[in-house]
Amino acid sequence: MKEGREWHDLLPLFCSSLINLNLTPWPHSCHHRLFQIAVSGAFILSDWREDALTLFEPDVEAVYFKSLDKLPVLLDRFVNAPEDCQKMPEPHVSGSWLNKQQPTAWRNLVPD
C-alpha cells in the first residue's frame, strides 16, 4: 500500500480540491477532518451527523447528505457547477451565523 500524507500536510490538498468529501464511520461524531477542511477554507460535502450540525451550518459552511443515494446527484451538481462550491465564510464576519447563534461553533475552537 502506498504511504499517505501526514495530517499536518493535508491543508494544501484540501485547498486544491473542488470537493472535500467527508464520510464518517461513527454514528455520533464530528470527524477531525471537518475541522482541517474548514481551517483551509475549502468546500465541505459530508454525510449527515447531528454532532457536526452544531459546528458547521448546513448549506453555509458544509453541504450534508443523509443517504449515500444522494451522493451521486450532489457530486454531479458541484462538478458541473463549481461556482456552487461555496468556500468557508471568513470567521471574523460580525454578522455571520457563527457569531450570533453558535458560541460553540468550530471557529471558537480555532485560535486567531
pLDDT reported for residue 1: 57
Find out whether 17 and 42 touch, Cβ atoms under 8 Å.
Answer: yes
Q: What is the mean pLDDT of the chain?
A: 77
pLDDT reported for residue 68: 93
Q: Is the pTM of this model over 0.85?
A: no
pLDDT tens figures, 54-95? 788 888 888 999 999 999 999 999 999 988 887 665 543 444
Half-sphere exposure of 51 (CA within 13 A, CB side): 10
